[in-house]
Amino acid sequence: MIHFEPESDRALFTSALQFAQEQVRNLVEKHPGFYPMYTSDGVWKHEGPAWTHWCDGFFPGMMWIFRKHFEPGTPDEKYWLEQAIRYSTPLESRKHDRDVHDLGFIFLSTYLRWFRLTKDPALNDVIIQAGKTLAMRFKEKGGYLRSFVADNSLFVDIMMNVGIIFYAARETNDRRLRDIALRHCLTTRRVLVRGDGSTAHEGLFDTDTGEFLKQTTHQGFRGDSCWSRGLAWSLYGFATSYEYSRDPRFLDTSEMCADYYITHANADGVPPWDFNAPSESRKQVDTSAAAIAASGLLRLSRLLHDPVKGHFYWSTGLRILQTLCEKHLADKTPGWEGVLKGGVYHVHKGLGVNESVMWGEYFFIEALDHALSVVG
Ligand code: GLY
């Protein structure tokens, strides 16, 4: 398998990573202690609502990645380490947060990186507790982790969080936790992933019987459409679940989602915000879905047994990154505080549409880091 990007890609990706560091450093200095979510006209701090509190790990998560790119003990490495710790520490109490289904987003981007660096068992305990807390959302009838909106609701987004339950199960040798994680993945695969590899955002259940009722959506165009970010969450999340469980059904599902993404995204690798949105609305892309898909494809490429397909996913991930760097970087827009333009949070609520969004920034940086680390 050829895991190599030409010099020009390396220069492009390195320069994007440097720009991201400048933008994050500027925000830290402008609003110390502020956790950004989505921009309004390119500005992070505004009065717009959050809808739900799921993003606080992404800003420090970027800092943990930045520090890896400097020699230990150098001023830049010390700066990013100090900031990463400063912004990660206040998140600890969220390990008991029962209001969100997003504890994987919050802790795998921060405490897991911190623990891997220091091997401090107290940090691992935080991640394990967060995994146990997330598992409390499990609905025995139906076999799924409930979303933040209601008992009868399953979101495709939870596929990005279930990894923390697999992690906690592995660290504590807890078969019940592993079973919850496996059953959640199998239910999501059965009710939200369609035969063509597209995904629904939400599934609704009868809570008395556990019967699955219908596919619906909050952030997508329609219940029977394919919201592009949901698809990207599924692509990435099933790859992660395969890494933890080695259940080949999850690898198949991730590949199906990847193939749907690749065959339906625009030719440059960036998708419309919903693959089934009507023509005018389809012009609105979602660069955050592209960043998640790029990172997911790079990850998936390492897991495949077929080197040709693995190389195809790897190359496609790089191609998406090239497009994001060449067409969507905010470096030519004076005053824009984000890194990537053209992200979308919630079209129907009018939140963060054609803006920078924190998860888009994070997964873009994660994917750049992954691409660059392969060749050093
Ligand atoms: N709530 C997760 C997302 O907006 O994708």
Pocket test for ligand 1, best of 53, 54, 155 (most atoms within 8 A of CB): 54
The predicted pLDDT at position 5 comes to 54
pLDDT score, position 3: 46
Q: How far is the CA of 51 from the centre of ligand 1 (A)?
A: 10
User: What residues contact 48, with CB distance under 8 A and at least 6 apart?
Assistant: 38, 40, 351, 352
Looking at ligand 1, which atom is closest to the CA of residue 346? 4
345 CA → ligand 1 middle, Å: 7
Spell out the residues 6+ positions from residue 105 whose beta carbon is closer than 8 angstroms to its own: 54, 55, 57, 58, 160, 161, 359
Q: How far is the CA of 107 from the centre of ligand 1 (A)?
A: 16
Residue closest via CA to ligand 1's atom 1 equals 157
Give the ligand 1 atom nearest the CA of 229: 5
Query: Rounded to the nearest whole angstrom, what is the distance from the C-alpha of residue 200 to the centroid of ligand 1?
Result: 13
Look at residue 89 in the predicted model and tell me its pLDDT. 98
Q: Which atom of ligand 1 is nearest to the CA of 288?
A: 5
- Ligand 1 atom showing the smallest separation from residue 52 Cα: 1
Best of 156, 359, 362 for a ligand 1 pocket test (most atoms within 8 Å of beta carbon)? 359
The pLDDT value recorded for residue 374 is 80
- Residue pair 297/258 in contact (Cβ under 8 Å)? The answer is yes
pLDDT at position 42 is 98
pLDDT at residue number 2:
43
Ligand 1 first shell, C-beta below 6 A: 54, 157, 219, 229
The atom of ligand 1 lying closest to the CA of 157 is 2
DSSP secondary structure code for residue 93 in this structure:
G
- The count of other CB atoms within 10 Å of the CB of residue 115 is 18
Domains of the chain: residue spans and CATH:
6-372 (1.50.10.10)
Closest-lying ligand 1 atom to the alpha carbon of residue 219: 4
Q: What is the pLDDT along the chain (376 residues), one digit of tens a residue?
A: 344 556 889 999 999 999 999 999 999 999 999 999 999 999 999 999 999 999 999 999 999 999 999 999 999 999 999 999 999 999 999 999 999 999 999 999 999 999 999 999 999 999 999 999 999 999 999 999 999 999 999 999 999 999 999 999 999 999 999 999 999 999 999 999 999 999 999 999 999 999 999 999 999 999 999 999 999 999 999 999 999 999 999 999 999 999 999 999 999 999 999 999 999 999 999 999 999 999 999 999 999 999 999 999 999 999 999 999 999 999 999 999 999 999 999 999 999 999 999 999 999 999 999 999 985 4
In the reported structure, the alpha carbon of residue 339 is separated from the centroid of ligand 1 by a whole-number distance in angstroms of: 19
CA distances from 52 to 8, 188, 271, 346 (A): 40, 21, 24, 11
State residue 375's pLDDT score. Answer: 57
Q: Is the pTM of this model over 0.95?
A: yes
CA-nearest residue, atom 4 of ligand 1? 345
Q: Rounded CA gap, 42 and 95, in Å?
A: 31
Coil, strand or helix at 193: strand
